[in-house]
Amino acid sequence: MPRQALYRRYRPRRFADVVGQDVAVQVLREAVRRDLLSHAYLLAGPRGTGKTSVARILAEAAACHAPDDGEPCGRCPSCLAAEGTGHLDIVEIDAASNRGIDEVRDLRERVLHAPVLGRRKVYVVDEVHMLTTEAFNAFLKTLEEPPAHVLFIFATTEPHKLPITVLSRCQRYDFHRIPEPLLVARLRAVAEAEGLEAEEAALVRIAGASDGGLRDALSLLDQVMAGGPVTDARVRDILGALDEGLLAPVVEALLRGDPAGLLEAVDAAYDAGRDPRQLLRDVARRLRDMWVQELFGAEGGRPGGPRPTAAWIAALEHLAEAEARLRGTFPPRLILELGLVKAAEALAPREAAAADPWPTASAGGDEPASSAVAEAKGISGAPDTPATGTVPAPASELPAAFRQVLERLRQRRQMTAALFRQVTVEEGDDAVTVWFHYPAHLKVLEDERSGHRALFLECFRDVYGPKAVRWAVREDAGPRGPSAASMLERARAVFGPDVPVEIVEEG
Ligand SMILES: [Zn+2]
C-alpha cells in the first residue's frame, strides 16, 4: 500500500482548518450554524485552492444531525459515515472523468427519495463545467424545484463555461489563489507534523512555484521529502526538471518550425501556471546556448542542422522584442506566441521550408507503418493495428479510462499531467501503450528526480489495475510536423542508439 499523499492526509476536515478562503468559509459556516443553507452553491476558482475540500466539509455539515458551531459534529451517524467508508446521502460526481452521465441519468427520480442517514441528500459535482448538455439539463430540471432535503454543491475552475441558467440558480463563492505567506505557514506546519527538518528558503521556493495552490505546494513538498532532506538546493533541482518538461516542447516546436506544436506547447506551459516573461527568457537563453554550441562546433543532431548566424540573431531579436512589448497593454499571451512564431520562422530549417508545409490531411494515412512505431510494436509484441494505425488520434479521443488517469494526475500534480498533453493511447488486452509526441516529455517522465513516473503509475493502477503500460515515441508529429525519418533521427539523438524507447511497466 503506497503512502498516502500529503495533500490527502492534511486535507482540512473542518471549516476552521481551511487555508486562505476566509470570506467563503465564514459565510458558509454561518449558513450551516443558522440552518439557512441555500439549495445550490457554486465554488469557483483556480486549481488546488480548496474548493473540493470546502465542498466536502459543507456536504458533511449539511448532512450532520447536530452541527457544532457550523462545523460537522464528527460524532453523529451521518458524520461517522462521511468520514468512514462512504455516505449514502452524499454523492460525489467527478464530471471530468465520466462526464456525469451515469450518476445524473436518473437524478430526477433519485433526489425525491428522503435521505437515509443524514439530514440532507447532497450532490457534490467537481469540475461541473465538463458535464454533458444532457447532464446539465437533468440538473436544471431538479434545480427549478429542488426538494427541501436536497443540496447541490458545484465546483469549477472555469465558471464562464457554465450555462447562465445554472449560474443564476446558484449562490456563488469565488476562491482565490492563496497568498505565499499563508502557503509557507501551512507547509511549515505540515513539515513539523511530519517531523521533518525543512529549510525556510526551500518552503518559500515551493510556495513561490505553486502559483497560490495548496495542493500543488503539498505535492511538491511530498516529492522533495520523498527523495531526501528538504533543502533549497534540492527544491531548485526538482523544479528545474519540472520546468524542463514544459520548456523543451516549446524549443523543439520552435526549431521544427511547427506553429501548431508551438501554440500547443505554450498552452501547456500556461496551464501549468508559467509566467510568459519567464518563459520567453528561458527560451531565449536556451536558443543562445544552442547558437554558442553551434559556433564552437558542438552542435549535434538538431532538427534542421546548423543555422546561419543571421537566423539565430533574428530569432533572438524577435524574442527580445516580445519581452519588451510585454510591458505594454497588449495581451501577454499573444505577444509571447507572436514572438515565438516569428523566432521559429527565422530559424526554420531550409530543407523544411522548401518542402510543402501544408500537406493534405490524408498524407499521413497512406504511409506504411513508420519504422519507429513498427519497431516498438516488434519489441513489445503488441497486436498489429489497422492500416491507419500510425495516424494518431487527437487527444480528445483518448480512451475514457485513460482520461480518468489524467484527471487523477491533474488533481495530484498539474506538472505531471502536462507531460501527457499530446499523447496517443492504445488499449490492448493486457497492456496500454502511450505514444509520446514529444521525446522530451518521455525523457522528463523517465527522470527519477522528477517523480513523474511513480505518480503516473499510481494513478494508472488506480484505474487500470494490473495492466502493464508501455511507452513509445510517436513518430509522426501531425500533418505539419517533420518527416518520419527526421523524427526518428531526432529521437535517436535524444535517446541514443536504443530508440524507440519502450519500457514495460509491470502492473
Ligand atoms: Zn454530525
Quote the pLDDT of residue 14. 95
The number of beta carbons lying within 10 Å of the beta carbon of residue 330 is 11
Largest CA distance in the chain: 77
Inside any domain, residue 439 = yes
344 with 421, same domain: the answer is: no
How many angstroms separate the alpha carbon of residue 157 from the centre of ligand 1? 29
335 with 372, same domain: the answer is: no
How many angstroms separate the alpha carbon of residue 186 from the centre of ligand 1? 27
391 with 368, same domain: the answer is: yes
The number of beta carbons lying within 10 Å of the beta carbon of residue 449 is 14
Inside any domain, residue 244 = no
194 with 161, same domain: the answer is: no
The SS3 of residue 201 is helix
119 with 90, same domain: the answer is: yes
Q: pLDDT of 224-255, one tens digit each?
A: 988 889 999 899 888 877 777 888 899 988 98
How many angstroms separate the alpha carbon of residue 112 from the centre of ligand 1? 23
Inside any domain, residue 246 = no
206 with 72, same domain: the answer is: no
How many angstroms separate the alpha carbon of residue 389 from the centre of ligand 1? 55
Q: pLDDT of 258-281, one tens digit each?
A: 888 899 899 888 877 777 888 888
114 with 210, same domain: the answer is: no
Inside any domain, residue 145 = yes
How many angstroms separate the alpha carbon of residue 57 from the centre of ligand 1? 11
CA distances from 347 to 43, 260, 309, 469 (A): 46, 16, 10, 37
Residues facing residue 230 across a β-bridge: 198
Q: Which of 130, 114, 120, 133 is nearest to 40 (CA)?
A: 120
CA distances from 343 to 277, 303, 354, 467 (A): 15, 15, 18, 43
Read off the amino acid at residue 281. R
Specify whether the CB–CB gap between 156 and 192 falls below 8 A: no
Segments forming the whole domain that contains residue 159: 6-174
190 with 154, same domain: the answer is: no
Inside any domain, residue 241 = no
The SS3 of residue 90 is strand
How many angstroms separate the alpha carbon of residue 125 from the centre of ligand 1? 22
13 with 158, same domain: the answer is: yes
Alpha helix locations (H) across 43-132?
51-63, 77-83, 95-98, 101-105, 107-110
Inside any domain, residue 250 = no
* Dist. CA 85–CA 389, nearest whole Å: 43
* Dist. CA 210–CA 269, nearest whole Å: 13
Cis-peptide into 439, omega within 30 deg: no
25 with 167, same domain: the answer is: yes
How many angstroms separate the alpha carbon of residue 128 from the centre of ligand 1? 27
Inside any domain, residue 414 = yes
Q: What is the mean pLDDT of residues 465-473?
A: 84
Most confident of 107-111, 281-285, 492-496: 281-285
The SS3 of residue 427 is strand
Q: What is this structure's pTM?
A: 0.58
Total count of domains within the chain = 4
311 with 435, same domain: the answer is: no
How many angstroms separate the alpha carbon of residue 183 from the centre of ligand 1? 29
How many angstroms separate the alpha carbon of residue 81 from the centre of ligand 1? 9
CATH code of the domain covering residue 42:
3.40.50.300
How many angstroms separate the alpha carbon of residue 122 from the centre of ligand 1? 14
Grid coordinates in use for 39? Answer: 439549495
What is the distance, to the nearest Å, from the Cα of residue 89 to the centroid of all Cα atoms in its chain? 30
194 with 77, same domain: the answer is: no
Mean pLDDT of the chain: 79
Inside any domain, residue 248 = no
Quote the pLDDT of residue 303. 61
